Structure 1
């Protein structure tokens, strides 16, 4: 079966993709179930080390949302192991039941309406539901694990919660979220604070986009094309404009939903290494930080050496952004995407391309050090550290390579490193080698022997249910992100 079939709009491709992935889940169901039962038996005979036992005055109640994403589940597990009480919250997502709701880490779990639901009053209902949960469960801290579609809405909810309750919230102000979330505003802000930025041009019509391409010299700069409002609709980073011929560019652009309400951004293609970060920021102070190599579809995570020049530059860059917002008192989670290249003198040139004001999946790199990670978040409940001569007294925890394992997702690797190479007849040996390297030496981001239900549910209930819904509804998709459970529609 040619790989082109998988990216086709054709009905045959639509049926093949969804049914084959449902069957794949059923194929592995027996062995997954055996492993699941063995884990339960092992926990009965020789339990894994339990959570830390804290005195009542130090044990906090923490609310974490988006348990349907690995990063939400990872944070919930870390707070559980650090001895705290965890309340899980998810928004209603059709008939697919979140795998995170079955984690042992949760003391309670709630479903609420999405703040961006099509029904009127979605934002109000969302805020009211969160306030009821916070009051009922006596929540001390809400760690907001935003989805890409609801970052600003959750920042608005956070503002109300700060005003009406004694619950602290890890989320920047709405205006900060808007600036960081929308790519064009982020680039403008980056330029304003004196950092290098790739050339960017916003287009609001097909004719404007084609005119931009036609004005470019052959053999000159190349550009990627990204939607400002629909991140999943962006073209792959491997798609560089102008295309070889004007006709190809015209045909491709005609398929994109470019309009005044959905502007797109041409961005200069930067050559160099790509990195991403996750930072925990409390009152303008970095409390935890990690950087790792990145790519367009990042599904393998390994941290950078703490004192490497790349890690130090990324940490310095993050601090610079943090100090440029909210009078230097930003509280939230900041995740940068950065390209780095070296000039002829060996100096690093840094080009920030995106900043997400929300939890990054790279937070999984902290799972081996739950006490330190949770301490970084809980610092918000303490008085801010004073600065002496402009230097903060707060400590920033960065996991060492010996503390941060390498993470992968079994389902993603099974398809992309094993099955697709077999279908294409290319990179079969390399794909198998990488697949088994991850299987043996790396750690699956979802599976834990002491908490096996989420993994089992994820691959044998959640995804089959979702693929069946996509099949029946006729919704065409080109890619799914296993870590965030996001489906990129065609």
Structure 2
């Protein structure tokens, strides 16, 4: 029986990918996302996977805007008779979606794939996530919460002579500092103090000092329904993640991260439903051992949790079983899917090694590798060619330019663009010819930004094409 599914965040790759999956499975898909007042910029609005699209007002942290946002979602749920709301929120609206979920489930029969406010807040904020993880007897890196520059310097002074390094992170969301991965302490106390002095640290703006682990970083995406992991994927990570490749589902790294996620989900109980993503660091020796021994139990260092949909969900694009995983939310109990694909691609209901739950759905093999044409065209081709043309002595060599262009060609020929679909081409066209044109025009600031409803512009240095964000 076809259900009516509301997917918010369809302007981002993750929301669009899920909308297409539900559409392909024969369901009625309603899309919604934020847009400026007078401009239809959201690329997802032109997807053929949507029956209708609704514009949402963006909350700004005020009670009035939050109430308006919740009411708009509630109106959509009632008007469209929505069975399931799949929230694909960005980092800035995760808490607001938690509030909306509580209201929608209180006054309607609609079920929401979204954590409640206390859970979202606990997992989103770095210090409370680490403390909660410790309370579950799961491993964590050494982490110190600091509310003053003096406290930060004291932690670093206490670590002097131990050889330990730390990364200092703001516990909330601040695009201006999120890319700062400076290893502390620096080469001298004076340099360390100068670095800390530039940061805005206070009781109202706490930070954490977190142990630096020398080794590769990985990220995961999972769908959790009533405390059970229904779908899971792990992949290599980076600071600005614009290329996605799934780890082998039956490998030691993936299975260790799955066990961690299952224990986390089980601890949340029957009310624990939403998208759950973790960032892990693994020591180099452990990572190399995991490659040699698929049965190895890898020591993980969780450094961050994102209680929302991860762009890595695009790795499920060729996995229609993913839809069945969402529909278990409508069952009285989160019953296991009868034909859950095993890591090797065969159907299985075998329990995972820790015995917590049946195997979740993994991306069906062979899993495509994902890139975004706009990002790669700029980073692998245009920037290199411009630097070469400048004749700067610090510029790239002809060989480096050739290798970079060859990498771009490989991606175009053999990888999959995260937005483009042959049967649904308009969102990709709209993304580059409407959305980003408007965003860059707004970034110019002044009158242009005001007229477009995008504010007065501001400094930015990076663009994430998949999440449509400028940093």
Hey, which bits of structure 1, 4+ residues long, moved more than 4 A? 93-96, 343-347, 385-395
Who is 1:68 aligned against?
11
Give the Cα–Cα distance (whole angstroms) in 1 for the partners of residues 70 and 334 of structure 2: 31
Give the Cα–Cα distance (whole angstroms) in 2 for the partners of residues 385 and 106 of structure 1: 27
Aligned to 1:116, which of 37, 55, 60?
A: 60
Cα 1:160/1:181, change in 2 over 3 Å? same
String of CA shifts for 1:439-476, please: whole Å, max 9, x gaps.
11100001112111111111122112111211223501
Does 343-352 or 384-393 show the bigger shift? 384-393
Who is 2:328 aligned against?
379
TM-score (norm 1): 0.81
Who is 1:439 aligned against?
412
String of CA shifts for 1:120-163, please: whole Å, max 9, x gaps.
51111111111111111111100011111121221111011111
Give the Cα–Cα distance (whole angstroms) in 2 for the partners of residues 246 and 197 of structure 1: 27
Who is 2:441 aligned against?
468
The alpha-carbon deviation at position 391 of structure 1 amounts to: 6.1
Q: Determine if contact 1:303/1:401 at 8 Å carries over to the other structure.
A: no
Does 336-345 or 374-383 show the bigger shift? 336-345
Show the 5 A alignment for 1:17-416: 58-93=1-36, 97-116=41-60, 118=62, 120-217=63-160, 220-236=163-179, 238-325=181-268, 327=269, 329-341=271-283, 342-343=285-286, 348-369=298-319, 371-385=320-334, 396-402=360-366, 404-416=367-379
String of CA shifts for 1:50-77, please: whole Å, max 9, x gaps.
xxxxxxxx10110010122110111111
The alpha-carbon deviation at position 239 of structure 1 amounts to: 2.0
Give the Cα–Cα distance (whole angstroms) in 2 for the partners of residues 211 and 97 of structure 1: 48
The alpha-carbon deviation at position 253 of structure 1 amounts to: 3.2
Is 1:477 aligned to 2:440, yes or no?
no
Who is 1:419 aligned against?
382
Q: Determine if contact 1:221/1:268 at 8 Å carries over to the other structure.
A: yes
Q: Report SS of the residue matched to 1:303.
A: coil
How many pairs align? 427
The alpha-carbon deviation at position 234 of structure 1 amounts to: 3.1
The alpha-carbon deviation at position 220 of structure 1 amounts to: 1.7
Give the Cα–Cα distance (whole angstroms) in 2 for the partners of residues 117 and 152 of structure 1: 9
Who is 1:448 aligned against?
421
Give the Cα–Cα distance (whole angstroms) in 2 for the partners of residues 345 and 255 of structure 1: 40
Give the Cα–Cα distance (whole angstroms) in 2 for the partners of residues 218 and 340 of structure 1: 23
Q: What are structure 1's unaligned runs of at least 5 residues?
A: 1-57
String of CA shifts for 1:223-278, please: whole Å, max 9, x gaps.
11211112423353642122334444344334333232221211111112211111
The alpha-carbon deviation at position 338 of structure 1 amounts to: 0.9
Cα 1:300/1:269, change in 2 over 3 Å? same
Give the Cα–Cα distance (whole angstroms) in 1 for the partners of residues 198 and 405 of structure 2: 36
Cα 1:218/1:335, change in 2 over 3 Å? same
Give the Cα–Cα distance (whole angstroms) in 2 for the partners of residues 267 and 96 of structure 1: 42
Q: Determine if contact 1:225/1:264 at 8 Å carries over to the other structure.
A: yes
Cα 1:108/1:268, change in 2 over 3 Å? same
Q: Report SS of the residue matched to 2:112.
A: strand
Who is 2:392 aligned against?
none
Q: Determine if contact 2:133/2:139 at 8 Å carries over to the other structure.
A: yes
Who is 1:18 aligned against?
none
Who is 1:9 aligned against?
none
Q: Report SS of the residue matched to 2:463.
A: strand
Q: What's the Cα RMSD here?
A: 2.5
Does 418-427 or 105-114 show the bigger shift? 418-427
Cα 1:438/1:480, change in 2 over 3 Å? same
Q: Determine if contact 2:35/2:42 at 8 Å carries over to the other structure.
A: no
Give the Cα–Cα distance (whole angstroms) in 2 for the partners of residues 398 and 323 of structure 1: 19
Give the Cα–Cα distance (whole angstroms) in 2 for the partners of residues 241 and 150 of structure 1: 31
Q: Report SS of the residue matched to 1:73.
A: helix
* Larger RCO (alpha carbons 8 Å, 6+ apart): 1
Give the Cα–Cα distance (whole angstroms) in 1 for the partners of residues 359 and 110 of structure 2: 24
Cα 1:282/1:124, change in 2 over 3 Å? same
Q: Determine if contact 1:202/1:266 at 8 Å carries over to the other structure.
A: yes
Does 405-414 or 225-234 show the bigger shift? 225-234
Cα 1:462/1:208, change in 2 over 3 Å? same
Q: Determine if contact 1:116/1:153 at 8 Å carries over to the other structure.
A: no
